[in-house]
Structure 1
C-alpha cells in the first residue's frame, strides 16, 4: 500500500526543517573553526559562555511558544469548535426529523447517516491538505429536497434552522482546514532559525567548549521542534496534533441506530464511506 500524498508532503516538510537545522548547526561549527579567527582577535579560550547562550535561548523559546499558542488558540481551537458544532447541528437535525411525517423522517435520518459517513471518509482526509470534498454535499442536497415537501408545516422552520447551522459550521471547519500562516512567513521563520544557529555557532569558543556545544545543540533541537509544531498545529486536520472526527462519528452511530429502529427492513442508501449505493 502506498503512502498518501498528503502524508508524504507533511513528512517531507518535517524532514526539510530538520535537514536545514542540522546544516545550520554544522555550518555554525565550521564557521567557528575557520571563520572566527578572521573575525575576532580574542584569545582562543574565550567566547560566548553557556550562560550567555541562555539569553537567546529563553527569548527565542518564549517568542516561538507565544506564536504556537496563538496559532493553537486560533486555527486549531476554531477547527475543533466548528467540528463539534457541526456534529451538534446534525444531531439536532436528526432529532427534529422525529416530528416530520414517516416518509420524510426516514429520508432525513438516512441522509444524515450518509452525510456523517461522507464527512469522515472523504472530507476529513481531504482537509489534511486544506481541501474539502463534494461527497457530503450530495446528502445535504437530499436534505433540502426533502425539506421542500414539508414547506408550510410546523417542522419546516426547525429543520431549516438546524440545517443552516450545520452548513455554517461546516464552512467554518473547511476554512480552518486551510493554513492560516502564509508560506512566506514559514520560510522566513526557517531562514531565521538557520541564521540564528549559524551566528551562535560562530560565537562559540574554539577550545574548552563542550558545555557550549551541548547548549547549542539543545537550542537547535528546540527551535526545530517548535517550528515543526507551528506547522503542524496550523493544519489541525492533518498533523500529529489533529482534530479527530469523534463528535460526528458519534452522531453517525446514533442516527444509524434511530433509523434502523424505525425502519429495520430498510437499507441505508449509502455504503460505509457515505457513497450512494447503486441500484442493481
Structure 2
C-alpha cells in the first residue's frame, strides 16, 4: 500500500468519524446517558481487543522478520555458492550458470507467486537444475580439500532451499476471517463506546477524541494488513532487491555464463 493511499485512508477515517460524531450528537441532543455501565463495557472490550490485536501483531511480525532475514540469507548463500564454484574448474561454468538462472527466476517468478500466497514451479525447476548440476560436478582443485569443499557447497544449496521455504511459509500465512471480523467490529465497538462515554464533553472535544481513536484503530488494522501480506508491493514490504543485487554481481563476474539462455524463461 502506497504512502499516499494510507494517508488518504487515515484522513478519510478522521473526517468520517468527526462528521458522524457531530451528526449523532445533534440527533441525541438533550438525552442523558448513564456512563457507568458503558465504562465497564469499554474496559472489558478494550482489554480483550488489545490482547487479541497485540498477539496478532507479534505473531505476524515474527513471521515478517523471519522472511526478511531469509531473503538476505538466500542472497548470501547464492553469492557464496557462486564463489565456491571456482574450486571446481571443470564444472564452474555450469554451476555458476545454474546459480545465475536461479537468482534471475526468484524475482521474476517467485515474487508474483508469493504475492498470491503460493510458490513458483519455474523456481522449483531452477533449483532442481542447480542441484543436478552440482551433483555432476567434478573434483575440486586440491584433492585434499575436495570433501570439505563439496560439503560446504552442498550446504549453501541447502541454505538456499531453507531460506526459500521460510519465504513460502510467510507467504502462505493467512489471517482467519473470524479474526478479521473480531478486529474490525471490535475496533468499531470501542469507538462507539468512547463516543457514549464522552457525551458530557464539549462537542468539539468529543469529535476530536472519537476521530483520534478511530484513526488509531485503523492504523493498527493497517499494520495487521501489512504484516499479513509481506510480499505485496509497497513501502515497508519485502522485496527481492538483495537477490537482484547478487544476480547483477554474478553476471558481472561471469559474463559468458550470464549470456547463456536459461531453461527457465527469464528476462535477460
**TM-score band, normalised by shorter chain:** 0.7 to 0.9
Once the two structures are TM-superposed, the CA of residue 228 in structure 1 deviates from its matched residue by 1.0
User: Pick from 61, 65, 77: which aligns with 1:77?
Assistant: 65
Structure number with higher helix proportion: 2
C-alpha distance after superposition, 1:130-181 (max 9, x if no partner): 2221222222121122123237762433322211111111101111123353
TM-score by length of 2: 0.75
**Which deviates more, 225-234 or 79-88?**
225-234
Distance of aligned partners of 1:223 and 1:64 in 2 relative to their CA distance in 1, 3 Å threshold: farther
Distance of aligned partners of 1:89 and 1:147 in 2 relative to their CA distance in 1, 3 Å threshold: same
- Equivalent in the alignment of 2:180: 186
Contact 2:95 2:130 in 1 (8 A): yes
- Equivalent in the alignment of 1:52: none
TM-score by length of 1: 0.72
Give secondary structure in 1 for the equivalent of 2:254: helix
**Stretches (4+) displaced over 4 A:** 17-38, 58-69
Give secondary structure in 2 for the equivalent of 1:241: coil
Number of residue pairs aligned between Structure 1 and Structure 2: 250
- Equivalent in the alignment of 2:88: 100
Q: Give the alignment's Cα RMSD to 1 decimal.
A: 3.9
Distance 1:207 1:21 in 2: 18
C-alpha distance after superposition, 1:214-260 (max 9, x if no partner): 11111111111221121112221115420121221121012112222
Structure 1 spans left out of the alignment, 5+ residues: 1-6, 49-54
Contact 1:25 1:197 in 2 (8 A): no
Distance 1:79 1:22 in 2: 36
**Which deviates more, 144-153 or 80-89?**
144-153
Structure 2 spans left out of the alignment, 5+ residues: 37-42, 141-145
**Which deviates more, 66-75 or 178-187?**
66-75
Distance 2:59 2:235 in 1: 15
